[in-house]
Structure 1
Amino acid sequence: MTPVERIVDWVSDKPIWWHLAIKITLQNGSLTDDNIQFLFNTAQGEYGLVPKHLKYDSFTSPIDITGFTSEEYSVKLNTLSGVEGVAALAEQQSLAFEPNGLTIGYGDNGAGKSSYSAILKHACLTRGSLKPIVGNVFSANNKQPQALLTVEVNGANRSINWTPDSKPDKDAKSIRVFDTASAHHYLSSEDTLGYKPVGLNLLTELTKAADGIKRLIEEDTMGTNGLVSISPLPSGSPASVFLSKLSGLETEHEVNTHCATQEEIDSIETRKNELIQYKAQSAAQIKAGLLSKKQLLTPLANFFSSPLKLLNVQEFDRLKQLELDAIAKQEIVDKLRLKTLSNLPFENICNSEWSQLWAAAKAFIQKEGKDLEFPPNTGDSCPFCLQDIGVYSASKLQEFEAFIQNSAAKDARAAYQALTMAKQAVNTVNLNVSQYEAALNEAEHIKSGLKVRLEELVTQLTDRKNIFLMKRLPTSLEGFGLSPYTDLITELDQEIGKITNDDSQAKFIAQKDADLITIQDRKYIADHRENILRNIKRLHTVTMLQQIKNECNTRSVSTLSSSIYSDGVIEPLKQSFQSELNAFGFNRFTIEVKTRNKGGHQQFKLHLSNSGESVVAKVASEGEQRCIAIASFLAEMKADARESAVIFDDPVNSLSHQWSARVADRLVRESLERQVIIFTHDIVFYKLLLEASERLSQDNLGYISLERSRDYAGLVRTNPPWDALTTSKRIGVLNTKLQNLRNIDASGTETEFRDATRPFYSLLREAWERLVEEKLLNKVVNRFERGIHIQRLTRLDDISQIDFDTINSAYDKCCNNFSGHDTPTGMGHPFPTINEVAGDLEAIKAYLAHLQKDRKRT
């Protein structure tokens, strides 16, 4: 398991923002201040301090570590083709890469090199953040960027269709890319120059995030930041204790319970006046005053007792039950009446009201005596109309009596009578309080607002009485009572009982004083309610921030970092790194590689030997620092035993020639072991790569030259740029051109042949010039270089007149036959034949071989 795999597995049960920090670092290479603020916001969202991010669910998705796992097979990049919609790159172009050696891609500014490199950086694995790929801004039809990569995996070829949104491909991510932008992700130079290994760099950045979030929290919670200043209450009342112990866990309901009601606030002045009076009176006087108040208030309380008893909720429920019982029994009677009594001129005969009329008539007849019967028989006089009763009427009257005597009818009448009597009792309730005006005023004096509340109670009782007397009662009623008033009388009783002597008087006054302070403190809470709620919210925030701060403890990060080191991951990396530094020849000063682990930062620290101070960062030049970055990049490949291809994009941008040569040498050596692809716009570095390839016998060499037209960039050519070629490579190009001349000589005209030879001799002339600089003078002086290679002068003591004659002769012939000098009319000289051209090319070949073999020019 690689360090990255271990770290990703380890962070799975850590806070969400840790997980996200690792994910961002893998994507971007490092964390910026904006990234750390984003992580802080995410942590606050976890604790409900801010709304969660709209994409919060994606934060917990698995971390993609494609390319960071152990390499299973060697992966080589064969071609890059099918490019569409990428900047101004021309379509139907194909870049072919040498699979077993070195490919050098050259392109001047604007030729498309950076666009092709950008595709490979996105498709393959590049440390650090990547700029988005843009389309052709000059094209009306801006296509979606896409490309086709063909790779060789364990000897088998496969194609990879790439788009900016495509899922990372495991094989493509096995190929590493190094460029100027990613170089700084391999180095740390805060106090010392250190190398940040991939994987352990994740822990370094996680520690940086934790430290950054911790710092933000400490700045936010410093002192009393965000808290409204509220003076404490010294009394020790429940309200003052509540205020002094705010923690952020209190609810708004709890705050409200400690706020004074309006009634309490209104009573403050009355209580103050009472307290002044009590302090000026004896115990007997206080007690007498309290008794007087009680005697005045008690009759009013008694007055209300009857209405409250007859009009309370329990009485309503009883009355409602009587009504429901009467209705139910009457329904039974009505069904019976319809069944037994029919064809009557009136619908409600034998109902409750009619039954009262029947009972009155029966009582009248019975009171008359005279042996009259009820109901009257045939021939008797009707007690209502005084006419004789007919046979039909007598029969109906007997039916009515039978119905009335039925048990169901009796039950209905009894239920109706019970309901009527209950309502009559309600109707007798007296609610006139005019005779108790003095008691009402005294109640108001004792407790402000109580008179109004009692008057409101009368109104409520009046409305309640009217409801009770309704023909049909509502379903339910809300309760109310006289508790504020009765509580006042109870309180007076208690206070009267407390006052027995002067000592009890003092306690009585002290209690009154304490009650006043309690209400005043409650009023203070009510006055500062909004600020208290604001402080509770802020204290809650501070508590949550403290929990986030606790998550910033990086001890577990350091433990994991040390564990990875102890498992033998770091030592091979350290050795590979040291080996790479040696390969670059840091002979200007000697470097020791030491490891450190502080707060999760596991880095390699570079020391100057025999120096007590780490000053490598101060001494190392830009070129040396770039070589350190490349060394770290290659060290990781070696330590992880990776054999897949590596790609370098402008690896020596703005370096001195000395370091450019060392980088060229090192990369060519690497190409002898794995596929190496280099893109550059530096023609000098291109030349250095060719020289190193020649010196190290790298025969598997591929060339890609990029050009642009008026409308398109990235036009691929397989021939290398002439200016970068060494003498031997130029001779190779001239060999190819000689074959073209032979074809023209065989099938063309003399004019066509002459026109074709002029550029040939122009190039041959430049080849001789390059030979003089490169071989004869042994590169002591190279054009456009700042330095002179004095140590190479030792080879120049063999230069003789023969060399001058050989070069001058060949050079003069080139000057006579190339386009560039005007020949006067009439002074024309014979133009060379094809055999002469071939002989002139053989002359430079022979002289080059003589210098390299016999005179040891390198």
Structure 2
Amino acid sequence: MMASEPIDDIVAWSNSQAPWRQDCLRRLAIANDLSESDRTELLCMIKHAAGFRLAETPATSKPFTKAHFSGGSHTPIVLKGIANIAGVNRLVSNASLDFCPKALTVVYGRNGSGKSGFVRILRTACRTRIESAATLKVLADVYGDGKGALSADIIIDAGAGDVPITWTPGMTAAPQLGQIAVFDTASAQLYVDGGNKIRYLPFGLALPHRLNAVCLSFKALLEAEQQTAVGTKLSLATVAFLPVRETAAQKFNRSVTKTTSDAAIEKASAFTDVDNARLSEVTGILSAGSTAAADMTNLVSWVDAMAIECVAAEAGLSDEALAAAACLKGAAVSARETARLTAGALFDDEPLAGVSSESWRKLWRAARDYSVAEAYPDEAFPVLPTDASDAACVLCQQPLLADGAARMERFQAYMDDTLDTAATQAEQAVVDAIAAFPVFKYLNADDFAERIEQIRSRDTALADSLATFRQSVTARNAEAIARLAGTPESDLPVFVPPTEAVKALAIKLADEKAELIKASDADERLKLETEKAELEDSKILNANAAKLITRRDLMVTDAAYAKALTLVATSGITKRANELLDTHLTSAVVSQFDAERERFEIKHLKVGLARKSGQTKAEFEVNPQTALTKITSQILSEGEQRALALAAFLTEVALTDGTGPIIVDDPVSSLDRERSAKVADRIAEEAGKRQVVVFTHDMVFFNELCRAADEAGIDPVTVALFSDLNASGKVDPAGMGWKGLNVAKRIGIIKSRLAPMTKLYATSPADYEYQIKGLYGRLRDTYERVVEEVIFCDIVRRGSDVVQTQMLRFVTLPDSLAIQFHEGMSRANTHSHDNPASDTVPVPKPEEFQTHLAELEKLVANFKIAKEQAEAARPQMKLKK
């Protein structure tokens, strides 16, 4: 985890406001290596102790229980790798490393290959004992321009797939990376001589003491902050009312306390558009006189009349009414046409055309009226000659002859016919419909525009609707007349008379009229003035609702300060913390530390781990148990110091909740080979419990670690780093160097390199000969490694001064296997050495080499069987491998 300021630096941040508290607590948690649940628990306790009101999480104190000291629960992570490195040391651009998600990853590289660059990034991002910013500082390439930004991606998997966490120098530590512990030379020194003593800071049980430190700091801060944070701001958050009166709004304003809820403030300060309109209305009523009442009476009458005209228009000018007018005209035209066609059939033989036409019927009606009224007032029309008298034509006033009389009889018969009568009635219906059109007196009155402005002052939308309605009525009236005249129909917009809105306004105006009449009464006027005062103060309260909330919050904070000052006493916390430490942790820490020291054979050193506790700290420290010095490094050798630091680190790891990954850099620096082997065994054991990443430049230790992993049933993943003149941190794609590989991995590499040999044999015999000779050289190396690893069971290893004498019981060399080894080694020698130019030694074909490799694999398997048989033949031996 990223190192940060210690507890003592809290005071340095006291000048900032609320955000400081959050940042302070976060930094405190990070600096002390807390797990996710520990941080949450500590934050909750501190917030509660300080009495801060938190909307997102109510502060709730919880007593410590044994469960708290397991470090809490968190989502385990796997460290998948580090990638996209930019600007760090001499590491190549976009340098990356992939780590085995389980068990053990061993990163090997010679000095200067870039291992430290990777470790420096990881120790600033993950959990480390180093707190010094100078030590943790990551540099750019000091021999480059140093202008680029430093960054990298640390890849983790918390169960939902790979997630990159971007790292930059000085970044806020990611909580997930707090599960990863880093051990290197710099942190090892802190375990030995941090403040002249080895310190072991326990995990969850350190919480009460850290709480004490925070409480003491808060006490000083709270006393200094209370006046400036609350006192002056309360007066600024006061709502001013002029004049002061006993309205509900002013009473609520005076009653606001720290317990007043947001809902209560929202309810008391509510002021709607309806309220605002009512305030304007009451103000207008109180300022109006008798003239206003008279004007209101006229306006009410006009609106009532307008409602009636809306109803009339809705009935007489609707789409249905216009359609009916068109149908009426159509029916008249159709009836007349039918009558005309009938007349045409009757009067085809008449001397003149046009009988039954409109003009002819007008002539007939005129003749009839003249005959009845003047020519023959006492006789029915037409008057025809009889035996007793003559008759004259009323038009030409010549005597009617027989033909003329007959013609008149035919004409009269036609006019009396049903078709003509129906046509006449239909035409009369059209005339009557025109006469029946509604008259819109108020819509067409000269004062319409003036009235509309009166309406607009009360209801803009209704005023616009009435203006549009007037235009629609004019257009529809003209359309109705046009349709009754037989003009083709025109498209009209949707016709929606604002009848209901006008009626509603009429009711509202009637109420206003009543209010105006009441205002002339003293008692009623007093009620209106009281209502006006309530509305005015409600409006002021609504405008200052934010001040009410601010004042309430300040009261909450003020009360919190007062309560916090009573809650930061530390004596009870200290006492309980010591009890919990003694009950739950001391024996576990000491026992684990002693076990780790015994594994590294430094138990003989008079260096014990004891708890030291005070008001603001809870630590386990190494006591060199001498009065001459308290500086452990003055007593112990370099190797003993490194072993002691590893013991302390592994004690911390073992007692930290969860199985988070650990990263170990150069663990065997200054250690002898025997103790180096023990470290390898211990790391392999730990890799069976958690993910372990080891960086080393020591080839012997690399082999010891791989051997220990194999014995623990772990297949370690190895990575080889190298550097050149341009950059470091380059990953060798071929993997670990040949001399660091065991027999099994060597055989695997030979197999992979044999795969393309068949094609090469067919395409270039010369290249094939060169390549196959190299493979036989590697085969010869492997036979030599078989002697050390398989035949003699790593009893004596090259580069190591350790002799595993107990492994002698597994050594066996049956004659058949000795012969097979000799033959195989001879072939490898023959085909890997430089042979005569006479070509007396033929180059083996690919399938022959494959056979020779298979023989080596078979030989290794046979040796294993032989060892098991030899062991079975010694039932009296109880030694274990």
TM-score by length of 2: 0.46
